[in-house]
A and B are shown apart, each in its own frame.
Chain A
Amino acid sequence: AQRVTQPEKLLSVFKGAPVELKCNYSYSGSPELFWYVQYSRQRLQLLLRHISRESIKGFTADLNKGETSFHLKKPFAQEEDSAMYYCALPWGPSGGSYIPTFGRGTSLIVHP
């Protein structure tokens, strides 16, 4: 079965420091991964997708198939980056149903 693991429940950094939110996956196929973000009192929203190779709000994520990872990185954290971050796989096991799988989430706190 597919699985997404976010080992850190909480990540606390100071403004200007680099940030790396870890995500590891288990998936029998070619994965397509996402990062979602939920700012305080806002709805959960898509941050970036592996398929589009994009950089959003300074964040990037590279798929490493050898390490089965999709870590989210930003070179210089800002206070407004404080939020809950979720890594996700969009669908279920190979040949199975289209059920998304989310990691447990990492709370990022950026101190001034």
Chain B
Amino acid sequence: SAVISQKPSRDICQRGTSLTIQCQVDSQVTMMFWYRQQPGQSLTLIATANQGSEATYESGFVIDKFPISRPNLTFSTLTVSNMSPEDSSIYLCSAPNPQDSILDLLYGYTFGSGTRLTVV
């Protein structure tokens, strides 16, 4: 299965600043997903990042607040802009496990290790 390296693993940031989270996949993947997770709770999808096109954001998330880049098939970044304490959370990236099949999605997803963000 694919391996995703995510960094930073954690950060403490001042309100009003921005943080960029990076995810590097060890193989080419068509889609990457960005999630927010409160400790011990479910995943909330922020956006889907496709290479060569703008990210697709879920309801409640906007590009100005969470700009995403996807410059190639192995890399993506998520920026949390103009942070407030309400943005404190764990941010995860995810991608389908690539297989030799167009039905990559049936092989499940792999996740980054997460970025624990605290805004003070």
A residues adjacent to B (C-beta < 8 A): 32, 34, 36, 43-46, 49, 51, 84, 86, 88, 90-91, 97-100, 102-105, 107
Contact = CB atoms under 8 A, between A and B. Distances in A.
A32 B106 contact: yes
Contacts of B28: none
A97 B43 CA distance: 18
B56 A86 contact: no
30 contacts: A43-B111, A43-B113, A44-B43, A44-B94, A45-B110, A45-B111, A46-B108, A46-B109, A49-B108, A84-B40, A86-B42, A86-B43, A90-B105, A90-B106, A90-B109, A97-B56, A98-B31, A98-B105, A99-B48, A100-B33, A100-B45, A100-B94, A100-B105, A100-B109, A102-B43, A103-B42, A104-B41, A104-B42, A105-B40, A107-B40
Interface residues of B, number: 23
Contacts of B14: none
Nearest to B1: A46
Contacts, number: 54
